[in-house]
Amino acid sequence: SVNLKGRSLLTLLDFSPEEIRYLLDISKQVKMESRSRLRTERFKGMTLAMIFEKRSTRTRLAFETAFAEEGGHAIFLSPNDIHLGTKESLEDTARVLGRMVDAIMFRGYKQETVEKLAEYSGVPVYNGLTDEFHPTQALADLMTIEENFGRLKGVKVVFMGDTRNNVATSLMIACAKMGMNFVACGPEELKPRPDIFERCQEIARETSASVSFTSNLEEALAGADVIYTDVWASMGEEDKEKERMALLKPYQVNERVMEMTGKSETIFMHCLPAVKGQEVTYEVIEGKQSRVWDEAENRKHTIKAVMIATLL
């Protein structure tokens, strides 16, 4: 009964647990197809505009290869190539794109930009990361967690470090929606945004999930199934790097932290790119518990699933 045709993915807050389940089921199916080199040309004759204000390896490659594998044509556009709020308003650019392409992906700074693109283009728009959210990353994270534990419900996920950033925020939303136990562990100064945090706690009440914040490592890590971290200074925050190093040092994921869960089956995750030796040690990210390469691969399958669900 789930139908996502024509929908945009701007934040997972807009998606119900059933809709997320549906996307994960398609992801599983397309991963099997992709691994067996099956080509179905689902997007034959279709075009996807991809606008990047910020750099990307995984997200660009995931969208571009997923779309091309299915016979579609993806167009990479940097702000140096198109008029984006310079000479032409964002609204006008969106309307023109909507007349020409089947879908738009946007990676950049403001959430408002991706929202306006959706409002004015009239075609599905995918948020490929903004300052606030990274919803396609969270879908890949859910897929990776489910592959490991065979379930999502009740799995305990601890995000260590800058718990206010885009990746942490989207992971918190995803965990709340899917009935998981999410703990944000970091300094008070980088707590999750109160409005989104409260909303996730409300969602959690309906899904039997839990969402909490603590600065205390022992409290956060006990019984954790997943330890997740991300860079200490995100794209656009390069000037804050020094200040963040001091603030976040106690939250580095190292072997001691991995042991503090009390479980040998705990896995380590990171959206990548990682600064080895900073937010995570070399030993942990290269170690047996790390799932970062599966997680990166799953970006492609989950993104393909989102496009299948919204375009076909």
The CB-of-267 to ligand NVA minimum distance in angstroms stands at: 19
Window of 55-63, 109-117, 201-209, 286-294 that interacts with ligand CP by CB under 6 A: 55-63
Helix, strand, or coil here: 66?
A: helix
- Give the one residue of 231, 284, 306, 307 binding ligand NVA; rule: CB under 6 A: 231
Q: Are 105 and 8 in contact (CB under 8 A)?
A: no
* Binding of residue 278 to ligand NVA (CB under 6 A): no
Task: Determine which one of 42, 131, 134, 162 is catalytic.
Answer: 134
Q: How many helices (H) and strands (E) does the chain have?
A: 12, 9
- Name which of ligand NVA, ligand CP, none residue 234 binds, using a CB cut-off of 5 to 8 Å depending on partner kind: ligand NVA
User: To the nearest whole angstrom, how small is the minimum distance from the Cβ of residue 77 to ligand CP?
Assistant: 16
Q: How far is the CB of 53 from ligand CP (least distance, A)?
A: 12
Instruction: Give the distance between the most distant pair of CA atoms in the chain.
Output: 58
> How much is the CA Rg of the chain, to the nearest whole Å?
19
Q: Is 134 a catalytic residue?
A: yes
- The total number of residues written for the chain in this structure: 312
Which of 229, 234, 266, 278 forms a contact with ligand NVA (CB under 6 A)?
234
Q: List the single partner that 57 binds among ligand NVA, ligand CP, none, CB under 5 to 8 Å by kind.
A: ligand CP
Question: Which partner from the list ligand NVA, ligand CP, none does 8 bind, CB cut-off 5 to 8 Å by kind?
Answer: none
Q: Which is nearer to ligand NVA, 129 or 160 (CB)?
A: 129
Nearest Cα residue to 237 out of 306, 296, 179, 166 = 166
Q: Is 252 annotated as a binding residue?
A: no
Q: Which of 61, 71, 73 is nearest to 38 (CA)?
A: 71
Note the helical H segments in the chain.
17-35, 58-69, 90-100, 111-121, 135-149, 166-177, 194-207, 217-221, 241-248, 255-259, 282-285, 292-311
Q: How far apart are CA 225 and CA 264, in angstroms?
A: 9
Query: Min. distance of Cβ 29 from ligand NVA in angstroms?
Result: 26
Footprint of ligand CP (CB under 6 A): 56-59, 129, 137, 271-273
Q: Which residues bind ligand NVA (CB under 6 A)?
A: 129, 165-167, 230-231, 234-235, 271
Catalytic positions, written as ranges = 107, 134, 137, 230, 271, 299
